[in-house]
Chains A and B, each alone.
Chain A
């Protein structure tokens, strides 16, 4: 992924956010077998997303990262209006989704992990790219372009040149990278304001990953499209994101500017994820142990405490917060400008750091012990 370097143009912090997620909760009803039902068991519902808040500004790339099952894809689907949240709101340009869903869908487009699955095998590339235009009854572009011109322009922007050569092809006649470009062209045809990309390069060969990522960044720079990238790969977030949000078990545990979060992580979970990222000088061995998170059975206190290396090695006990870690649920706290985290240990440590006035001390309790 080297060679792709975000130029990171200035993002206007005073401008209202394009997308705002407020206290989003999505639960999935548990299924229960006949026998267990007769035995009096009750279906346990899973809180896939449990109170997520996020903001995304125009021309900003936000990476939503975490392990599989943490709720990041569910969040993305809720943003796309594909599932109904149990609680909370999603605001697009300040207006809640719901009543204007069809209009909203014109301006927000989605890119999936598997480009082969995202393309209807029986449609030609032209039909696929033109579909959005047809759904939203756009017969002419803003400058009077025909449908064909709009499709050609979308393909060109997505890097498929000359576009006419692709019109009559079917998805299976293209390579994986080209297919993902078709998916992106289908999104671009509608001139979107926001692209939600769910693991957009995980299924692609390493050699084309960089190309697709730089394409997304180019679109961000040239068209000022905001991009929400869902990924399990912090290395990718490192490469493309302006801001990073780390999710664990349905909650966001740390957010901030990409460099801040990735170079000076506050949360032990972020630290653990970074330890396996080669770009961050990490080591190639699993750092996290213990049960993978189970959204039907959320632990008390800090959700991460059963797997937290800082609890395990006694650091949180040394700082006198182990009881809090085990029993006290907590919210995100802004510990550095624009950099928030939900960690009892980081809280006390930040206080300590403020008292001593030392900036370097902040990193220490979360630093590697070995």
Chain B
């Protein structure tokens, strides 16, 4: 099978997954969820509305139709970007709220993922190459501790130490309240100060995963005969590592990288809550607490989209990097 078929197959698979999620979402939020749908669409005003107003809402969202009729309506709405309104945010459209909270989350989780990825992979390579060294034993120890520590707990510790006790960083939020009076530079510094602790928390939390995977896959590759062959042929140790070992050991890590980026937009619910950081994670938390079904439904859709998209990216990159996969 050629590269073309592989790509087409993967894209089709992604669409099938998306379809399954849409169907599941429909049942989760429209069929199985308790409560009055009109009420969710009108800031909880359901029974205070006049009959005419109720009828208008019912008409607009096709709520009087059969399940199948509602489903086609729902699919049409979803593909045209009509995701409904949030009850908690006073009728603001779900789409607009999503994009408002997206940037802070991309900053927070994006930066943390990048840092832990680069540092984790670097440490993993060094550790695997010099297995049993002091560096290896030290990083193994710390990575396992960080890996097994709940992120929110680590966040609370850092918050207590650096914000409450030492007062070096703000205790929470995304920016200070007096944003309007700030110059550009001042604004950036303020944003960075608010980002520092949550980024540190997440970066430490994600580090272990990258480190452990990179280390073990490098160790696997170093046991292969082509590494011995390269050495026997006289390849310099530096090139044995870079050209032969790391190039192959990175393959499993590519999947992890892509999947991590898929989860980026899902935000980090616990850490965002601990630091009151207004990102998508905190938004999800708010929507759950407020039973804001339409907002939740929209968020679920976006999160799934991101995971599916990056999964597809990971499959395509993997195929580009590993010639064996294309044929499989």
Contacts and interface: CB of A to CB of B under 8 A. Distances in A.
Interface of A: 80-82, 101-102, 105-106, 109-110, 112-114, 117-122, 131-132, 135-136, 170, 172-173, 183, 186, 190
B130 interface: no
Contacts of B226: 117-120
B232 A172 contact: no
A76 to B, nearest CB: 10
Given A135-B235, A136-B234, A121 B229 contact: no
A82 B232 CA distance: 7
B234 A122 contact: no
B231 interface: yes
B324 interface: yes
Nearest to A110: B232
Nearest to B328: A172
Given A110-B229, A112-B228, A114-B225, A121 B323 contact: yes
Contacts of A183: 229
Contact of B232 (A109, A117, A136): A109
B322 A173 contact: no
Contact of B235 (A117, A121, A131): A131
Contacts of B236: 135
22 contacts: A82-B231, A105-B233, A105-B234, A109-B233, A110-B229, A117-B225, A118-B225, A120-B226, A120-B230, A120-B244, A121-B323, A121-B324, A122-B248, A122-B322, A131-B230, A131-B233, A132-B233, A135-B234, A136-B234, A170-B324, A186-B229, A190-B233
A162 B327 CA distance: 23
Interface of B: 224-226, 228-236, 244, 247-248, 321-324, 327
A110 B234 CA distance: 11
Contacts of B228: 82, 110, 112
Contacts of B232: 80-82, 105, 109-110
Interface of B is mostly: helix
Nearest to A108: B232
A136 to B, nearest CB: 7
B247 A122 contact: yes
Contacts of A112: 225, 228-229
Given A121-B323, A122-B247, 17 more contacts: A82-B228, A101-B234, A105-B232, A105-B233, A105-B234, A112-B225, A112-B228, A118-B226, A120-B244, A120-B247, A121-B324, A122-B248, A122-B321, A131-B230, A135-B236, A173-B327, A186-B229
Given A114-B225, A118-B226, A119-B226, A102 B234 contact: yes
B114 to A, nearest CB: 25
B6 to A, nearest CB: 14
A18 B327 CA distance: 44
A224 to B, nearest CB: 21
B146 to A, nearest CB: 24
Contacts of B324: 121, 170, 172
Contacts of B229: 110, 112, 118, 183, 186
A172 B226 CA distance: 14
Contact of B323 (A82, A106, A122): A122
Contacts of B322: 121-122
A170 B235 CA distance: 21
A172 B327 contact: yes
Contacts of A101: 234
A113 B235 CA distance: 20
Nearest to A121: B324
Nearest to A111: B229
Closest 4 CB pairs of A and B: A105-B234, A117-B225, A170-B323, A118-B225
B235 A120 contact: no
A101 B226 CA distance: 19
Contacts of A122: 247-248, 321-323
A170 B324 CA distance: 8
B224 A117 contact: yes
Nearest to A172: B324
Nearest to A81: B232
A173 B236 CA distance: 28
